[in-house]
Amino acid sequence: MGAASARSDWLRRFHEGERGIIEAIYREHFTTVSRAVGTTTGPADRETVIHEIFLRLLSHSALRCSFQGGDLGAWLSVVSRNHAMDCARRRRREIPASVAAAADRASPDWGESGIEARLLVERFRRDALPPAWAGVFDARFIRQLSQEEAAAALGMGRTTLAYQEARVRRLLRRFVVKGVRR
């Protein structure tokens, strides 16, 4: 089998999404992708963005088929940089929790509702919040840090923080709804 034939076979297998090919690309080009997204993302988001890129490579045949041969590292760099910029744009459109809280505090009845809120938070911590998620609850809901800031403060990846935050949010929602039904 000639070199051109081997490249053609590799490209066909890559387009088909053969797991072994994708795994080899992950192992060979992780650093390339990391460098490409590193200038656009902060440390807390870098790991998430890198894994999103490889997940897209694994699960989206249209993305794989857009590579028609040539320098795979250069192609991955462009794909990675574009994805990182899209993620950065999305993050800039997010409204920080502190902005929303400031708007709430500006309401005229903040004093009375603030006391009720503190009591509700204390009951939630005591009755429903698992101790393992207390740090995430404090960082995101009480101190109102951004996900990136909270992840850095807690020493965890942003995806881990986002998962735990979603779980805490679900627990809080159930807790509040149950309290309203009493």
Residue 41 to residue 95: CA distance in whole angstroms: 18
Predicted confidence (pLDDT) at residue 146 exceeds the cutoff of 90: no
Question: Among 55, 70, 93, which residue terminates a domain?
Answer: 93
Residue 40 to residue 135: CA distance in whole angstroms: 27
- How many folded domains does the chain comprise? 2
Domain that holds residue 42: 3-93
pTM of the full predicted structure? 0.54
Predicted confidence (pLDDT) at residue 111 exceeds the cutoff of 70: no
pLDDT band of residue 112 (cuts 50, 70, 90) is low
Residues 59 and 131 reside in one and the same domain = no
Q: What is the mean pLDDT of residues 158-181?
A: 83
Residues 81 and 115 reside in one and the same domain = no
Q: What is the mean pLDDT of residues 60-79?
A: 93
Structure tokens at 97: 């929790």
Q: Which of 58, 71, 69 has the alpha carbon at shortest distance from 6?
A: 69
pLDDT of residue 178: 77
Residues 24 and 55 reside in one and the same domain = yes
Q: Which of 88, 60, 63, 89 has the alpha carbon at shortest distance from 76?
A: 63
Percent of the chain past pLDDT 90, that is, above it, reads 38
Residues 163 and 136 reside in one and the same domain = yes
Which of 132 and 106 is assigned the larger pLDDT?
Answer: 132
> What CATH number is given to the structural domain containing 26?
1.10.1740.10
> What CATH number is given to the structural domain containing 124?
1.10.10
pLDDT of residue 3: 78
In eight-state DSSP terms, residue 94 is S
48 touches 158 (CB < 8 A): yes
Q: What is the mean pLDDT of residues 121-136?
A: 90
Coil, helix or strand at residue 109? coil
Percent of the chain past pLDDT 70, that is, above it, reads 86
Of the listed ranges 13-27, 108-122, 128-142, 160-174, the least confidently predicted one is: 108-122
Residues 79 and 110 reside in one and the same domain = no
pLDDT band of residue 68 (cuts 50, 70, 90) is very high
Residues 103 and 142 reside in one and the same domain = yes
Residues 123 and 172 reside in one and the same domain = yes
